Amino acid sequence: MSISQREILIRTFKSNKTSVVGLFMAFGVVIIALIAPWISPYDPIAQDMNIQHGPPGWAHPFGTDSYGRDQFSRILWGSRVSLVVGILSVLFAMAAGIPLGMLGGYKGGRIDNLVLRFIDIFMSFPIVILGLLVLAIMGPGLIKIVIAIGVALTPRIARLARGSTLSVKGKEYIEAARAVGQRDWKIMLIHVLPNIFGEILVMGTLWVATAIIVEASLSFIGLGVRPPTPSWGAMIRDGLDQLTNAPWLSIFPGLAIFTSVFAFNLIADGLRDISDPKLRG
Amino acid sequence: MKGGKYFLIFLVALVSVGICLFSTAFAQEKVVRMALKASDIRSLDPHYGTTTIDYACIDPMFNGLVRFKPEDINPEKIEPDLAERWEHSKDGLVWTFYLRKGVKFHKGYGELTAEDVKFSLEKAANKATSGFAADYSALAKVEALDKYTVRLSFKSAIPSVLGILTNYHGGYIVSKKAVEEKGDKFKLDPIGTGPFMLKDYVPKEKVVEVRNPDYFRGKPKLDRIELWFMPDASSREMAYRKGEIDIVEGEREQAWVKKMREIPGTAIEIFGPGETLVLHFNLTKKPLDDIRVRQAICHAINIEELMKFLGPDVTTKLVSVIPMDYLGGTDKVPKYEFNPEKAKKLLAEAGYPKGFEMSMVITEMSDYRRPMEQVQEQLRRVGINLKMDVIAHSAFHSQIRKDVNPLVLYVCARFPTADPILTQFYYSKSIVGTPTAITNFSHYNKIDDLIEKARVEIDSKKQKALWTEAQKKILEDAVALPLCITKFVFARKTNVDLGYEMRSTLTLVTTIKETTDVRK
Amino acid sequence: MLKYAIRRMIFVLPTLWAVVTFVFFLIRIVPGGPAVAALGSYATEESIRELEKQMGLDKPILMQYGIFLKDLCRGDLGKSLITNKPISQEISRALPYTLDLAIGGMIIGILFGIPTGIITALRRNRPPDYIGRILSLVGISMPEFYLGILLMYVLAIKLPLFPVLGGGDLSNLSSRLYHLFLPALTLGIIMTAFISRMVRSSMLNVLREDYVRTAKAKGLHERVVIYKHALRNALIPTVTVIGIYMSILMGGSVLTEIIFSRPGLGKMMVFAVKDRDYIALQSVIIIFSAFVFLFNLITDLLYSIIDPRIEYH
């Protein structure tokens, strides 16, 4: 990231309260995910038939499910799945999409057309549906979900990278490098990439939010991680059967998803308010 | 005076019109809507229907030569249905049935005759046109002696002739003309003699049946029945609460029963024969080929905890693979008490002191999945890690029959004698993946002789002894672990009067009969 | 304009073809082939071959592809592996429910999103803005199925105001709308959040420009005219984005249909995945993509209508 972009980032957080709040919240979620095994009061998969469907109380702040498992511990552990999938899938999409977008934007011409075509094709699928399709073929499992969502996000990141590349392409330092005779791929790596990375990072946080929702959606449908691993989406689904007698089983996991997504959206909003030149005025 | 007469007529006309309008406003259709735990039907051809939803749709549309007294599967209470009376030869090999006269098939397909019965039974006995042909393997021939008389000849004596002629599986009588006319389409457009006939089938949504006004037992009280497919427990519950559904298939869990009981105007029907929950071990998958490992698993499973989860209202004890109240059921079999320490010791002996891992598939259907999730946890406590992939119910059924799983938790109900269960699950010819496969998931083949001998044994005491011996061996060899029996659970609005007492039924649902009524 | 429309449509066709081809080949790369996947591993050779014959998989792949395209052009989408009935029948039954939902959600989103966006833009950094922004942030952070469950719990269970499931009778307008309300509201709330943010940021863009600032100084009458102009300009990017939003809506409809048991395409798709009915899955996805393309096309056309007029201002 170039110095000016770093400056902007720091300035953002210094002046923009919302993104700071978001950052703290997101940090909180990440910390929870990291230390969940140590702060969970109970084993998230230990069953106890004596306390089925227990309401929230001192011993179990979020209640217990049909197997007597502590919901609070399960929500803490569930953050790991959501974050791992959320962050890894975006990283996957960036690793695949940025080179693609850069290639198309920088080279232009036929290659660009090809890239655009590819983007168009994949963008015609809503993310959940593409994820569904990929999982239908690969079967359930954590890594497979990361790949499924990553594949779905790749075209969107690619399009972003392409757009940014296009706007950077005309800049002087690029012209200079070309005049000196630097190879294309070197130019892309050394000059283009650092300058578009900031924008992509901003959108990246937004996509993490989306990825978390998509993972929850796929788990909710039943294509998520295998039981008994706790996943917020699957918890909502199991809780749905008890909506009339134990609504807390669906409500709390949903709040967890909402909070995490909200946090990342706050960060993204803050970053965008500052770094988007169009809105700067 | 003339004017006065006309005025009177006019007044009478007005009043009559008024009454008509008034009463049509009140004369609503009598409909019962039932929601079942399935996503779609497999077939409405009664000789292929094997799932609960199939039964629920098929039963109101067909009759058998005889029927169980509604609803009680006590074989001693079998009574006439399409046949008025019958007689049989001393050796039990020739049976003659005298049909009721004037029984009409739906939608103008004519009167029921012996030709239809002959055609129907031959269809049921034919592998190519029926899924239940094996039940009729002893049937030699069917003759239509005259328009209303049918004679059945058997190759050998079978335990219950009336049993295979009841209103169940192959015993349902179909219209010869309709089957010949519709061919493959009969599966989704069936013609029978029952109190209701098919009006509409919306895939993945519902089946609608309307009253058959010519039903031989009298005009059915209901105008229409709707059978909705709702695999989602919460949707079913919501629909019931909101009054969009009158009868709903329940979850076989105490929590569900408790929750539904609290809804005003609700009657809970819990009835038999119940389905047995049995865990089958696939003897061909390591390390289950070692009997010590299998025994370890048996000791690791806490049946009491399982029954607590499912609930006392819904479960009864099961000690052998055949329930006690089946003909041939016994409790004189080895039992594996809950003992995790012993389990761990056995595992260590077999070479797995730290336990081991196994992968399997399980259906998302709660009847199988939820007990299995408990089993998974209980096995985890002794070090056995089960990786379970949750898949769709239909995919699950096809996969387990392709020999994929090391453990198969199976839920089933069969005709209440020992033979069907022993044959389908423990007979070598039924091993999955073979051409004659049924549901022998374990690949067990050590009691073939006992099963075959018992089938043809005339002396009932000796027969029972053979069956007991077979069950003992199954448990000695730790081929399968019986867990419990779960009864069927339905919730019904109290303004729906089933028209009979719900005791037990092979159709696994609260079937709608001509006597079923709904009050406002 | 018509020429533009036709040109655009032609441009879109190759992409649509590419999507269709992509789905076709994807379905067939399932390990073991879709027939085995549908039947499970260790399936008997006989049953696999039977199903493959039924699916037309025993022919060389390019020939299959040719047949597939030919059938597609005739409107034949194949038969479901499970029910063996033509899929086009099922799809035409399910389609209205999904379209109702997508359009309903969009209408609610536009109806509430645009005014909210305008108000928050005009009252920037004042209380209405803060409230509006927080609410819209909440809206886009809600998983649609969670929002659906909450709405269902409050408006259909606790207060029995609305039906819980089904799509209602299509031929009966009141039943249709009555069953549409909650699902459409679920998606509508999320759409409102997206659209209001979009409108707000485009309005802010326009309002910042110099001539607007001068107009503010000049007086009320001019201000009103300029604000109207600003609104029109702000709506352009909104229209542009509707195409993308319809894509989001179609995706959101999948889960909403599951929650409310609406018998639409989304529900059909999920069941096809679970039942391993790959032919049905293939066809539903193609139809879905076709609609996404259609909406994008409409958006493009709208854009081209609005755009030239503004240019000449």
Spell out the per-residue pLDDT of chain B, length 520, in tens: 455 666 666 666 666 665 555 444 445 789 999 999 887 787 888 988 777 888 899 999 999 999 988 878 777 788 999 999 999 888 888 999 999 999 999 999 999 999 999 999 999 988 888 878 878 888 899 999 999 999 999 988 777 788 889 888 889 999 999 999 998 888 889 999 999 999 998 877 889 999 999 999 989 999 999 999 888 888 888 889 888 899 999 988 888 999 999 999 999 999 888 889 999 999 988 888 899 999 999 999 999 989 988 888 889 889 999 888 888 888 888 889 999 999 999 999 998 888 899 989 888 888 888 899 999 999 999 999 998 888 877 778 777 887 888 999 998 887 778 888 888 889 888 888 777 777 888 998 888 888 888 887 778 788 889 989 999 999 999 999 999 999 999 999 999 998 888 888 888 888 888 888 888 7
pLDDT digits (tens, 9 = 90+) for C168-199: 677 778 888 888 898 999 999 999 998 888 88
Contact flag B305-A66 (C-beta cutoff 8 Å): no
What's the mean pLDDT in A247-276? 84
Instruction: Identify the closest residue of chain A to C256 by CA–CA distance.
Output: A217
Q: How many CA atoms lie within 13 A of B334 on its CB side?
A: 16
Q: Is A278 on the interface with C (CB under 8 A)?
A: yes
Residue to test with chain A: of B240, B359, B363, B377, most A Cβ within 10 A = B377
Give the mean pLDDT of chain A: 83
Q: List all chains that touch chain C, counting a touch as 3 or more CB pairs closer than 8 Å.
A: A, B
Instruction: Identify the closest residue of chain C to A117 by CA–CA distance.
Output: C15
Instruction: Identify the closest residue of chain C to B245 by CA–CA distance.
Output: C165
Contact flag A129-C269 (C-beta cutoff 8 Å): yes
Smallest Cβ distance to B388: which of A49, A66, A227? Answer: A227
Residue to test with chain A: of C20, C205, C273, most A Cβ within 10 A = C273
Contact flag C205-A127 (C-beta cutoff 8 Å): no
Contact flag A128-C251 (C-beta cutoff 8 Å): yes
* Helix orientation angle between A127-138 and C220-259, rounded to the nearest 10 degrees: 20
C-beta neighbour count of B449 within 10 angstroms: 10
For residue B258, give how far its alpha carbon lies from the nearest alpha carbon of chain A (Å). 10
Contact A150, C295 (CB under 8 A): no
| ipTM, 2 dp | 0.84
Q: Is A240 on the interface with B (CB under 8 A)?
A: yes
For residue C43, give how far its alpha carbon lies from the nearest alpha carbon of chain B (Å). 5
For residue C157, give how far its alpha carbon lies from the nearest alpha carbon of chain A (Å). 8
Q: Is B338 on the interface with A (CB under 8 A)?
A: no
pLDDT score of C146: 93
Check whether C75 has a pLDDT greater than 80: no
Contact flag A254-C157 (C-beta cutoff 8 Å): no
A9 band by pLDDT with thresholds 50, 70 and 90 = low
Contact flag B390-A47 (C-beta cutoff 8 Å): no
Cα separation of B132 and B166, whole Å?
13
Contact C278, C87 (CB under 8 A): no
For residue A105, give how far its alpha carbon lies from the nearest alpha carbon of chain C (Å). 19
Contact flag C43-B364 (C-beta cutoff 8 Å): no
3-state helix, strand, coil in chain C (%, to 5): 80, 0, 20
Cα separation of B118 and B120, whole Å?
5
pLDDT score of B150: 93
For the stretch B333-372, what's the b/e string if a residue is b when 16 or more beta carbons lie within 10 angstroms of its beta carbon? Answer: bbebeeebebbbbbbeebebeebeebebbbbbbbbbbbbb
Q: How far is CA B113 from CA A138, B116, B144, in A?
A: 55, 5, 9
Distance of CA A276 to the CA centre of its chain: 21
pLDDT digits (tens, 9 = 90+) for B392-424: 777 787 778 878 889 999 988 877 788 888 888
Q: Taking CB atoms and an 8 Å cutoff, what residues of chain C touch A117? A: 14-15, 18
Q: Taking CB atoms and an 8 Å cutoff, what residues of chain C touch B244? A: 163-166
Contact A158, A115 (CB under 8 A): yes
Contact A61, A255 (CB under 8 A): no
Q: How far apart are the first and last CA of chain C?
A: 19
- Tell me which amino acid residue B18 is: G
Contact flag A278-C250 (C-beta cutoff 8 Å): no
Check whether A275 has a pLDDT greater than 60: no
Greater confidence (A137 vs B276) lies with B276
Nearest to B222 by CA among B244, B241, B195: B195
This prediction has a pTM of: 0.82
Q: Taking CB atoms and an 8 Å cutoff, what residues of chain A touch B305? A: 49
C-beta neighbour count of C62 within 10 angstroms: 8
Q: How far is CA B129 from CA B88, B132, B333, B453, C142, in A?
A: 27, 9, 39, 29, 52
Instruction: Identify the closest residue of chain B to C268 by CA–CA distance.
Output: B204
Smallest Cβ distance to C274: which of B235, B238, B392? Answer: B392
Q: Is C164 on the interface with B (CB under 8 A)?
A: yes
Contact C139, C190 (CB under 8 A): yes
Instruction: Identify the closest residue of chain B to A45 by CA–CA distance.
Output: B377
pLDDT digits (tens, 9 = 90+) for A109-128: 888 888 888 887 888 788 88
Residues of chain C above pLDDT 70, percent? 75
Count interface pairs B-C at CB distance under 8 A. Answer: 70
Greater confidence (C255 vs C47) lies with C255
| Best mean pLDDT range from A170-174, B183-187, C45-49 | B183-187
Q: How far is CA B364 from CA A38, A102, A250, B375, in A?
A: 32, 44, 19, 15
Q: Is A269 on the interface with C (CB under 8 A)?
A: yes
Residues 6+ apart with CB under 8 A from B432: B400, B401, B402, B403, B438, B439, B440, B441, B443
Token pair, residue B46, equals: 């009664």
Contact flag B398-C43 (C-beta cutoff 8 Å): yes
Contact flag B255-A66 (C-beta cutoff 8 Å): yes
Contact flag C156-B242 (C-beta cutoff 8 Å): yes
Q: Taking CB atoms and an 8 Å cutoff, what residues of chain A touch B374? A: 47, 67
Q: How far is CA A153 from CA B135, B412, C197, in A?
A: 56, 45, 22
Q: Taking CB atoms and an 8 Å cutoff, what residues of chain A touch B233? A: 241
